[in-house]
Amino acid sequence: MEYLVALADERQFTRAAELTGVSQSGLSAAIRNLEAELGTRLFTRTTRRVEPTEAGLALLPFARSMLSCATEARDAVVQVSRELAGTLRVGAEQCLGLVDVASLLERFHRRYPRVEIAFTQAGSHELLAGVRDGDLDAAFVATADHVGVLPRTVLGQEPVVLLCPPEHPLASRAAVDRADLAGESFIDFHPSWAVRQLNDDAFAARGVRRRVRFSVNDVHTLLDLVDRGLGVALVPRHVAGKPQAARLVVVPVEADGAADWVVSVVTSPGHDSAAPHFVELLDDAPATVPPPVPVP
């Protein structure tokens, strides 16, 4: 059921296999076996995309319900068999996309009701400083800088795409190079956000100067300013799938060796921390990543 849900969400065997931690051939075989058991095709396959059939769409809500029930059953067993108390201090950068932090916090609270949860939202660099200084037990960040020897688990990665209004001259381009953006006005996040540092480093590596006219600390504000024609933005691909970005045009950025946007969970090495119990929930969490945003 987890494979079915991941494939229905991702519409691609490769990405679904990555999310579920299985080989592509193993996932494909599992889907074929399920189709054989049910006596019908659940997906139509083409060279570029996988689409659920009518039967697959009919099964999908039951599959999600089964996964939810299995998760709740595990949590119920853990709750009565393990005693854990104290405080869990967790931080996350806003709008990570590749992990559902709120869902993980809910599950942890259900499993360990005696643990008091303290949650902080901030930029990745501030969060890393909090883990290093002992102020946080775990943090979900989108940078590999300044991690040092802190325990780190990579959860996924995405490319950066350009967002612009449909009337912008670049909106009709199949792709853009960072050199094409030299004269543009940018809307970007505060320097404490990981994607801002990623963008700054990518342009500096190409020797391209850019002008950031607006620095914001909120994804929806960024999308609103782009929509009003006040500038363009370079954001992780999942941001382009937000309802507030529905009118905007997504333009791929040509590969030039710049790093992708990578999401990780970083934990404190403290032995009495509740962080390991929190992070272990990631191992059996069903795939919740939204499907990739289609780009030209």
Whether the per-residue pLDDT at 289 is higher than 50: the answer is no
Identify whether the C-beta of residue 13 lies closer than 8 Å to the C-beta of residue 24.
Answer: yes
Counting other chains too, the contacts that 15-20 makes at CB distance below 8 Å and 24 or more residues apart are 15/292, 16/287, 18/156, 19/156, 19/287, 19/289, 20/287
Predicted pLDDT of residue 163:
96
Q: Name the band, by pLDDT with cuts 50, 70 and 90, for residue 293.
A: very low
Residues 6+ apart with CB under 8 A from 94: 121, 217, 218, 219
* CA 115 to chain CA centroid, nearest Å: 26
| 60-69, 80-89, 169-178: least confident range | 80-89
Predicted pLDDT of residue 17:
86
Residues 6+ apart with CB under 8 A from 124: 93, 139, 141, 142, 143, 192, 193, 194
Residues 6+ apart with CB under 8 A from 133: none
Q: What CATH number does the domain located at 84-156+262-283 have?
A: 3.40.190.10
* pLDDT tens digits for range 121-148: 998 889 998 998 889 999 999 877 767 7
* pLDDT tens digits for range 191-223: 888 899 899 999 998 899 999 999 999 899 999
Whether the per-residue pLDDT at 271 is higher than 70: the answer is no
Three state DSSP letters for the chain = CHHHHHHHHHCCHHHHHHHHCCCHHHHHHHHHHHHHHHCCCCEEECCCCEEECHHHHHHHHHHHHHHHHHHHHHHHHHHHHCCCCEEEEEEECCCCCCCCHHHHHHHHHHHCCCEEEEEEECCHHHHHHHHHCCCCCEEEECCCCCCCCCCEEEEEEECEEEEECCCCHHHHCCCECHHHHCCCEEEEECCCCHHHHHHHHHHHHHCCCCEEEEEECCHHHHHHHHHCCCCEEEEEHHHHHCHHHCCCEEEEECCCCCCCEEEEEEECCCCCCCHHHHHHHHHCCCCCCCCCCCCC
| β-bridge partners, 160 | 236
Q: What's the rounded Cα separation, in Å, for the pair 139 and 170?
A: 36
> Which residues make up the CATH 3.40.190.10 domain(s) of the chain?
84-156+262-283, 160-252
Report the sign of the C-alpha dihedral through residues 182, 188, 190, 193, in that order.
negative
Q: Name the band, by pLDDT with cuts 50, 70 and 90, for residue 290.
A: very low
* pLDDT tens digits for range 215-248: 999 899 999 999 999 999 999 998 988 889 999 9
Whether the per-residue pLDDT at 75 is higher than 70: the answer is no
Predicted pLDDT of residue 148:
74
Whether the per-residue pLDDT at 159 is higher than 50: the answer is yes
Identify whether the C-beta of residue 122 lies closer than 8 Å to the C-beta of residue 191.
Answer: no
* pLDDT tens digits for range 9-44: 888 888 888 878 888 899 999 999 999 999 999 999
* pLDDT tens digits for range 89-123: 999 998 887 888 998 999 898 888 889 999 999 98
Identify whether the C-beta of residue 54 lies closer than 8 Å to the C-beta of residue 38.
Answer: no
> Which residues make up the CATH 1.10.10.10 domain(s) of the chain?
2-79
- Fold assignment, 2-79: Arc Repressor Mutant, subunit A (1.10.10)
Which CATH class name applies to 160-252?
Answer: alpha beta
Predicted pLDDT of residue 294:
39
Whether the per-residue pLDDT at 269 is higher than 80: the answer is no
Q: Name the band, by pLDDT with cuts 50, 70 and 90, for residue 70.
A: confident
